[in-house]
Amino acid sequence: MRRFSGHLQDPWGSFVDVKTNLLDVLARELPRRSGGRVWFSSVCDPYQQVEARYRLTRGAIELLLAYEKFSISILTKNALVLRDLDLLSQMKDRVDVGFTITTFSREAQPFFEPNSSSIKDRINALRKLNEVGVGTWVFIAPMLPYVTELELKEGLRQLAEAGVKKLMTDRYNARGMIINQTLKAYESWKPAANLQEIRRLLWEGDKYYRLLDAKISDLWKKEAPDAIHEKTF
């Protein structure tokens, strides 16, 4: 997305362009559309920190609430979604909320998921959403070597206890400047880390990712026998 927004040289995650006319455009477009599922959102977090100020996601949900022909899927890393629980609870069967989790390690999480809610707060948000009848799911992504498997069993147990019924997984998509940012995060987390081996796994770790995904699947079946696991790679 950087190449489409004039931020080609800016590190991913260091910028945000606010579409301040979003609600005006959406209000015009909704009556014209036949309906469908609206995705919040595949590239940017709809509940990143600036949403607390601009309230664009909340405004969009308020508009969509009036049109039963639309349903909503939300994917976020931030417990700010609970601010809109009053709206989401009115939609129930028309909305689901997913949380991305890269690692369950409280020690590693700040290095690889900066500016995101803590793992504890995300799991608590999942629990509260389920309590009011909003369907939830978790996206374990991107799976990172030596990071995602930390505290994995305990993390999956907590997800099951929170009422999560669907788990999705995806491997790391190595490309361009992003991999350099990822390696810097590893170096900050563990200065003695073998960056050459980590780089190899990020680029060529097909077997590693298959084995890790199989481990996640087996653990998830034990913790949540009736739940779903889908891999997306």
Parse the chain into domains and list their residue ranges: 2-231
pLDDT for 92 equals 87
pLDDT at 21: 97
The confidence score (pLDDT) of residue 177 equals 78
CA distance linking residue 65 with residue 115, whole number of Å? 29
pLDDT of the residue at 5: 61
Q: What pLDDT is recorded for position 71?
A: 98
Residue 176: predicted pLDDT: 73
Question: Does the N-terminal peptide bond of residue 142 adopt cis geometry, omega within 30 degrees of 0?
Answer: yes
* Per-residue model confidence (pLDDT) at position 9: 65
Q: Residue 7 has what pLDDT?
A: 59
pTM of the model: 0.93
Distances (CA, A) of 22 to 4, 26, 91, 152, 224: 18, 6, 21, 38, 39
Task: Specify the pLDDT at position 10.
Answer: 67
pLDDT in the model for residue 13: 63
pLDDT at res. 165: 96
Residue ranges of the chain with per-residue pLDDT less than 50: none
* CATH placement of domain 2-231: 3.80.30.30
